[in-house]
Amino acid sequence: MARNRKRIKVLVVDDSAVVRKVFREELSAEEDIEVVGTAPDPFVARDKIVKLKPDVITLDIEMPRMDGLTFLKKLMKYYPMPVIVVSSLTEKGGKLALEALSLGALEVISKPSSAYSVGEMSIQLIDKIRAVAGCKVPARAQVEPGDRVKKGLFSRSLAKTTNKVIAIGASTGGTEALKVVLKAMPPNAPGILVVQHMPARFTTSFAQRLNELSAVSVKEAEDGDSLVNGVALVAPGNYHMLLKRSGARYCVQVKKGPMVHHQRPSVDVLFHSVAAYAGSNAAGVLLTGMGSDGADGLLKMRESGARTVAQDEKSCIVFGMPKEAIRLGAAEKVAPLEDIARVTLSLIAES
């Protein structure tokens, strides 16, 4: 890496002195990252943001004096910028992390139970800092749970979609993108499989929230679950999800296995299985995210006769995964986020 390249300025906000110390040491060891400051609470962080003008903030959301969510709301209103949330691996931590993502945070990483093992987070944190640095953080409209799609939307185009499958993959920025896509799906949509790069235990709360917002039923996948019209299955964190077929019935296999593209669940693992078992009865969608996970799998889907869609650059938070898919010729269509559901449903209805 060139020495004169501008370094990414990071502010660490965490009430644990150990976490602040470890993050400073680990992140500052990277040539392209500089920890310009740390803060034990949002009040100190507020002053340091104005003074130091960081490119990225890492934010603990369970802190004294002012909780991280309240701080995040104010930050996104007056000084929107890339935020990576550091959250505990608890049911409460998972729900708070999802709320933070809905408020504008771009990524979430899991906080170990012991502060002294926090150094293990460094590799994934470094990757996420590089991914979100320079991202233009969009204004976020708050979505109310009762704001559902109208019943019967797209029903005509869905008349021919019996036994069809829609597979969707996403990473950075995907939690909000998936809300947009699933909200636009009608209650009789083809069965949907979702892989979102997300830590273990957070996907349960994520699926529950999507279920509240969508006309389709959304749940975290369990091994052996059937895939039927009107149901979306979300891969659980730290497990791969694959499509299988038993006679005329589609079902999913949820299992451990090696990480693919440093991810588990991996979009490529899902897409390759959909190509093998659904072929021309499927549609694949690749949304915003860093890296290249899903690009090769989307190509395999297209080669198997499936219809394929990638999110366009303008509407992506990070144009990594879709960009690689487009480069490979894997995407039959490239569409803005708000058109993804319509385009996908139209394509699969033609198959």
- Reading the chain (351 residues) residue by residue, the pLDDT tens digits are 444 568 999 999 999 898 899 899 999 999 999 999 999 999 999 999 999 999 999 999 888 778 889 999 999 988 999 999 988 766 677 788 889 998 999 998 887 665 545 566 777 889 899 989 988 886 554 444 444 444 344 333 443 445 899 999 999 999 999 999 999 999 999 999 999 999 888 899 999 999 999 999 999 999 999 999 999 999 999 999 999 998 888 999 999 999 999 899 999 999 999 999 999 999 999 999 999 999 999 999 999 999 999 999 999 999 999 999 999 999 999 999 999 999 999 999 987
Q: Distance between CA 66 and CA 220 in Å, rounded?
A: 32
CA distances from 324 to 50, 175, 284, 310, 327 (A): 36, 20, 15, 10, 5
Amino acid type, 265: P
Residues annotated as catalytic (active site), given as ranges:
171, 197, 293
Residues 6 or more apart whose Cβ sits within 8 Å of residue 213: 143, 145, 147, 148, 179, 182, 183
Nearest to 290 by CA among 133, 184, 144: 133
Nearest to 313 by CA among 289, 348, 295: 289
Domain boundaries, the chain: 8-132, 165-350
Q: Distance between CA 212 and CA 146 in Å, rounded?
A: 7
**Residue 87: per-residue pLDDT:** 82
Bridge partners (DSSP) of residue 108 are: 85
**Residue 119: per-residue pLDDT:** 61
- Work out the widest C-alpha separation in the chain, in whole angstroms: 63
Q: Is the dihedral of CA 137, 143, 145, 151 positive or negative?
A: negative
Amino acid type, 67: D
Q: Is 294 left (phi over 0), alpha (psi -120 to 50) or beta?
A: left
Q: Return the half-sphere exposure (C-beta side, CA atoms, 13 A cut-off) of residue 46.
A: 16
Segment (H or E) for 44:
helix 42-52
**Residue 118: per-residue pLDDT:** 59
Q: Distance between CA 151 and CA 154 in Å, rounded?
A: 9
The string of pLDDT tens digits covering residues 162-210 is 589 999 999 999 999 999 999 999 999 999 999 999 988 889 999 999 9
Query: Has domain 8-132 been given CATH number 1.10.3720.10?
Result: no
Q: In 76-110, which positions are buried (b, 16+ CB within 10 angstroms) versus exposed (e)?
A: beeeebbbbbbbbbeeebbbbbbbbbbbbbbbbbb
Which residue has 């608890």 as its token pair?
A: 90
**Residue 158: per-residue pLDDT:** 40
CA distances from 165 to 66, 137, 310 (A): 45, 32, 16
Q: Distance between CA 14 and CA 65 in Å, rounded?
A: 12
**Residue 94: per-residue pLDDT:** 77
Bridge partners (DSSP) of residue 167 are: 193, 284
**Residue 98: per-residue pLDDT:** 87
CATH fold for the domain made of 165-350: Rossmann fold (3.40.50)
Tokens found for residue 27? 């992140």
**CB-based burial label for 19 (10 Å; 0-12, 13-18, 19+):** buried
The string of pLDDT tens digits covering residues 223-262 is 999 999 999 999 999 999 999 998 888 999 999 999 999 8
Q: Is the dihedral of CA 315, 320, 321, 325 positive or negative?
A: positive
User: In sequence order, what DSSP letters do the residues of 261-299 get, joined into one string?
Assistant: TTBSS-HHHHHHHHHHHTGGGEEEEE-SBSS-TTHHHHH
